[in-house]
């Protein structure tokens, strides 16, 4: 029977341990599942023969909370959890969230703001100069000097503020394994400098073991927005495990040295990591607290890939997991599915076979293995690269095998798909089977906007591509007799989106006869190209100026335009239409968004008096299959931004 790793001294004593090697500290509740980064790292270290204990969500006000398991023999590895702690705590309007799906009972407030820094400083207080390694999404995306939206200023690298010895960025299995081996061999942590996928603080460039490039210093990017944009461009250009160089960034008299990214795991390595002996459940100490809600989304899901070459500019995945795809073998995925079938709570439904982007299972093109990703070219936007290899055959074969597993009734795909990539697959076989077998009533896609200029700033395909996809989706639903909907994700107030652009989006929605309920304001999170645009007013790819909607009132108007039918939004919509000089959309025509205030057209009101006679009820006829359209889905309160990497 699989067991959780120790979370207390009593657990260690049951195992006969009176010492242990590594303390894994996490800002999330302890969920022993491969969708949770700290669980992967802890199980990997265990597989390497180390004794590992877990400290989840300690009380950061008391140093005793950090010493409760005693001092580890080799070091502490620290993560804020699956998402940035500031995103976990605050909405895009900087309002405090009332819940936290990664905490027991959905309870907010069990981790501190900027958890990596707070936890790390407490570890220093508790254990002094013990080797301290920080990782996970929060550390990864803050490895360089970065704009902090919540303080509205540029902060230095989190490595300096945390007083950690090493920072592991990206998917950290390879780096973690090597760091642990060197510490176990007696190498002082200050001498561990040459590991790919890590960063450390040095004094001179001579300490870097790789070809290098220097980006503008912390002092320069803090004082000059153009220098910030230049630094951001360099950081993205070199973020490639094949051709990327180490990046140096000065912070006063110290030197941040960020080694090149680690190579993605091979299929065999990814299989090994995915099949470590996870319990796949939250620790039972949370049962009386209501459990950990985050497990519900992943308990009966399978992650088959890593990486994303979609490279949306507002998404952190490209700067965290990277753009090169790695995927698990069919045999490994099927073993996991067979294990899920025997779970006592399994009812026959695999909720997802996905990843960062579900339908990416192979490299974008053949040259990536030798030459890396193109420096100044995106694979899909604004137009697909001629070298793009859009073949879904392997993914299709995998899904067919999963459907055939005894006990599996349905296999759904709920993580995001790239519709532009699907359209490049000329066979259309995957598209057909997606509609026939893998949509759970609603298919989530992300056109994000309808104005091509805004989509260019987002790094998304033009709207004609989405319209082509929508028409084909509707046709396939009609062909197979399905009543299934599209759930389009849309974003307001992205850099480059003017109020006039927001009005055009509202017009497009009105002409489509739809009004989506799921709308998200752009959230400037650390490390993305779009956040750089938001802070600097420059597109780092071209260094050209870009319009940025920063005023909260304008942002409220942009959002209201996408929900113009809501009564509480009408005043904002009216103000927005006047500000954009689009009074032509206030009237009684089908294309209008609002009726004029104060009066109704002649004949519109029903005369008072006797109610008109209703026609006799006719015999109910069989209902024809509806044309596939858009689902109106109720948004979750304070929904977090989409597409979060580990």
Domain boundaries, the chain: 9-198, 297-440, 442-597+627-646
449-486 pLDDT per residue, tens: 999 999 999 999 999 999 999 999 999 999 999 999 98
Q: Calculate the alpha carbon distances from 489 to 35, 543, 562 in Å.
A: 23, 28, 11
Query: If you count them, how many residues does the chain have?
Result: 646
The stretch 600-624 carries a mean pLDDT of 42
Tell me whether the CATH fold assigned to 9-198 matches the one assigned to 297-440: no
Q: What is the pTM of this model?
A: 0.90
**By three-state DSSP, how is residue 535 classified?**
helix
∠523-526-529 over CA atoms, to 5°?
80
Cβ atoms of 336 and 302 within 8 Å: the answer is yes
Checking if the pLDDT of 634 tops 50, the result is: no
The stretch 169-184 carries a mean pLDDT of 97
Query: Residue 375: CA atoms inside 13 Å, Cβ hemisphere, count?
Result: 9
In order, the DSSP letters of 369-389 are HHH-S-SS--SSSSS--TT--
The torsion of the CA quartet 53, 56, 59, 60, rounded to 10 degrees, works out to 90
Nearest to 156 by CA among 123, 188, 125, 117: 117
Within 10 A of 358 (CB to CB), how many other CB atoms are there?
A: 22
Checking if the pLDDT of 616 tops 80, the result is: no
Give the homologous superfamily in CATH for domain 9-198.
Answer: Cobalamin-binding domain (3.40.50.280)
**By three-state DSSP, how is residue 106 classified?**
helix
542-596 pLDDT per residue, tens: 999 999 999 999 999 999 999 999 999 999 999 999 999 999 999 999 999 999 9
The stretch 270-278 carries a mean pLDDT of 97
Checking if the pLDDT of 626 tops 60, the result is: no
How far apart are alpha carbons 103 and 292 in whole angstroms? 6
> What's residue 510's pLDDT?
93
How far apart are alpha carbons 424 and 447 in whole angstroms? 16
Within 10 A of 471 (CB to CB), how many other CB atoms are there?
A: 11
Cβ atoms of 577 and 593 within 8 Å: the answer is yes
Query: Which CATH topology does 442-597+627-646 take?
Result: Transcription Regulator spoIIAA (3.30.750)
Query: Which CATH topology does 297-440 take?
Result: Transcription Regulator spoIIAA (3.30.750)
> What's residue 607's pLDDT?
39
Checking if the pLDDT of 291 tops 90, the result is: yes
11-56 pLDDT per residue, tens: 999 999 999 999 999 999 999 999 999 999 999 999 999 999 999 9
Checking if the pLDDT of 615 tops 70, the result is: no
How far apart are alpha carbons 240 and 311 in whole angstroms? 13
In order, the DSSP letters of 213-273 are EEPPPHHHHHH-HHHHHHHHHHHHHT--TTTPPEEEEEETTEEEEEPPPPPPPPHHHHHHH
CB proximity list for 114: less than 8 A, separation 6 or greater: 85, 86, 138
> What's residue 599's pLDDT?
57
104-113, 306-315, 630-639, range with greatest mean pLDDT: 104-113
How far apart are alpha carbons 551 and 572 in whole angstroms? 14
Checking if the pLDDT of 621 tops 80, the result is: no
Work out the mean pLDDT of the chain and round it to a whole number.
91
97-116 pLDDT per residue, tens: 999 999 999 999 999 999 99
Nearest to 522 by CA among 533, 512, 510: 533
> What's residue 396's pLDDT?
97
């Amino acid at each position: 029977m699989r067991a959780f790793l120790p979370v207390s001294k009593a657990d260690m004593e049951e195992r006969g341990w009176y010492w242990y090697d590594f303390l894994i500290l996490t800002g999330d509740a302890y969920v022993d599942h491969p969708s949770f980064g700290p669980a992967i790292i802890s199980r990997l270290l265990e597989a390497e023969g180390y004794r590992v204990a877990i400290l989840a969500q300690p009380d950061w006000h008391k140093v005793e909370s950090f010493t409760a398991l005693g001092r580890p023999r080799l070091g502490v590895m620290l993560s804020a959890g699956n998402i940035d702690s500031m995103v976990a705590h605050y909405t895009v309007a900087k309002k405090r969230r009332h819940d936290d799906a990664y905490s027991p009972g959905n309870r907010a407030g069990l981790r501190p703001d900027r958890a990596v820094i707070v936890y790390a400083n407490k570890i220093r207080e508790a254990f002094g100069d013990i080797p301290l390694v920080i990782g996970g999404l929060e550390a990864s995306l803050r490895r360089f000097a970065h704009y902090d939206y919540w303080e509205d200023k540029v902060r230095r690298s989190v490595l300096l503020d945390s007083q950690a010895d090493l920072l592991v960025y990206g998917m950290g299995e390879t780096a973690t394994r090597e760091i642990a081996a060197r510490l176990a061999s007696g190498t002082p942590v200050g001498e561990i400098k040459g590991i790919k996928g890590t960063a450390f603080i040095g004094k001179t460039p001579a300490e870097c073991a790789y070809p290098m490039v220097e980006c503008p210093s912390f002092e320069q990017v803090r004082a000059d927005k153009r220098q910030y944009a230049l630094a951001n461009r360099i950081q993205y250009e070199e973020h490639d495990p094949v051709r990327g160089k180490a990046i140096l960034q000065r912070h006063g008299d110290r030197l941040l040295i960020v080694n090149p990214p680690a190579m993605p795991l091979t299929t065999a390595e990814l299989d090994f990591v995915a099949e470590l002996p996870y319990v796949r459940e939250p620790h039972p100490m949370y049962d009386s607290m209501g459990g950990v809600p985050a497990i519900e989304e992943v308990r009966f899901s399978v992650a088959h890939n890593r990486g994303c070459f979609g490279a949306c500019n507002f998404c952190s995945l490209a700067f965290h997991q990277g753009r090169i795809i790695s995927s698990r073998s069919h045999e490994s995925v099927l073993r996991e599915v067979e294990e899920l079938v025997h779970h006592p709570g399994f009812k026959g439904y695999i909720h997802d076979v996905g990843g960062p982007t579900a339908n990416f299972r192979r490299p974008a093109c053949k040259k990536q293995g030798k030459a890396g990703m193109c420096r100044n070219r995106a694979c899909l936007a604004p137009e697909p690269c001629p070298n793009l290899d859009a073949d879904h055959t392997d993914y299709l074969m995998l899904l067919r095998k999963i459907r055939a597993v005894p006990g599996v009734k349905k296999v759904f795909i709920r993580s995001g798909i790239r519709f532009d990539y699907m359209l490049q697959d000329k066979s259309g076989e995957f598209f057909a089977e997606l509609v026939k077998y893998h949509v759970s009533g609603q298919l989530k896609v992300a056109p994000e906007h309808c104005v091509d200029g805004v989509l260019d700033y987002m790094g998304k395909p033009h709207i004609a591509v989405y319209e082509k996809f929508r028409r084909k989706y509707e046709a396939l639903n009609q062909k197979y007799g399905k009543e299934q909907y599209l759930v389009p994700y849309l974003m307001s107030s992205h850099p480059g989106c003017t109020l006039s652009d927001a009005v055009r989006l509202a017009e497009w929605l009105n002409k489509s006869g739809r009004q989506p309920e799921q709308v998200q304001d752009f959230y400037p999170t650390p490390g993305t190209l779009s956040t750089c645009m938001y802070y600097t007013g420059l597109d780092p790819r071209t260094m050209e100026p870009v319009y940025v909607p920063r005023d909260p009132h304008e942002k409220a108007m942009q959002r209201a335009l996408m929900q113009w039918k809501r009564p509480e939004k009408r005043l904002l919509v009216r103000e927005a239409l006047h500000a954009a000089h689009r009074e032509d959309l206030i009237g009684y025509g089908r294309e209008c968004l609002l009726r004029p205030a104060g009066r109704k057209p002649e004949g519109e009101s029903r005369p008072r008096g006797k109610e008109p006679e209703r026609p006799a009820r006719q015999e109910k006829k069989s209902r024809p299959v509806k044309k596939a359209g858009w689902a109106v889905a109720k948004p979750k309160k304070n929904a977090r931004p989409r597409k979060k990497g580990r």
